[in-house]
């Protein structure tokens, strides 16, 4: 797939995001703040544009994620679920969570996404 246009776009985007993460983690505080001011609004706008394409319908289902014409769209939408888990669920919750906690779900979902 890397020879296709999609493969090239995927590689470029992953490289951009990887560079952002590396710079935010490795550069000094001033450089990290400058990076955040310059790039964070762009990343937020990109995520917002993606989520706009997955806006739920009046039944709370995502028409973009529907795979067949006469089937119900999944709920919750995978794009929203992924964004929610990645951005709003953190790993800093108390250790004494029950075994079926949200963290276990997040971990299993992340493994699922990683393939
Ligand atoms: Zn969706």
39 with 17: CB under 8 angstroms?
no
Nearest to 73 by CA among 92, 86, 56: 56
Give tens-digit pLDDT for 56-99: 988 888 889 887 877 777 778 889 988 998 898 876 655 444 44
Distance CA(77)–CA(79), nearest Å, equals 6
Query: pTM for this one?
Result: 0.70
Give tens-digit pLDDT for 15-50: 999 999 999 999 999 999 999 999 999 999 999 999
Distance CA(87)–CA(76), nearest Å, equals 16
Question: What separation in Å is there between the alpha carbon of 80 and the centre of ligand 1?
Answer: 7
63 with 79: CB under 8 angstroms?
no
Q: Which residue has the tokens 């953190």?
A: 90
Q: What is the pLDDT of residue 91?
A: 67
pLDDT band at 53 (very low <50, low <70, confident <90, very high): very high
Question: What separation in Å is there between the alpha carbon of 59 and the centre of ligand 1?
Answer: 13
pLDDT band at 1 (very low <50, low <70, confident <90, very high): low
Question: What separation in Å is there between the alpha carbon of 47 and the centre of ligand 1?
Answer: 13
């Amino acid at each position: 797939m890397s020879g296709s246009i999609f493969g090239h776009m995927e590689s470029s985007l992953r490289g951009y995001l990887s560079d952002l993460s590396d710079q935010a983690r490795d550069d000094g505080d001033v450089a990290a703040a400058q990076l955040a001011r310059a790039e964070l609004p762009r990343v937020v706008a990109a995520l917002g544009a993606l989520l706009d394409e997955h806006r739920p319908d009046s039944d709370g289902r995502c028409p973009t994620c529907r795979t067949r014409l006469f089937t119900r769209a999944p709920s919750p939408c995978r794009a929203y679920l992924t964004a929610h888990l990645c951005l709003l669920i953190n790993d800093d919750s108390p250790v004494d969570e029950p075994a079926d906690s949200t963290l276990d779900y997040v971990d299993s979902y992340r493994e699922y996404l990683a393939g």
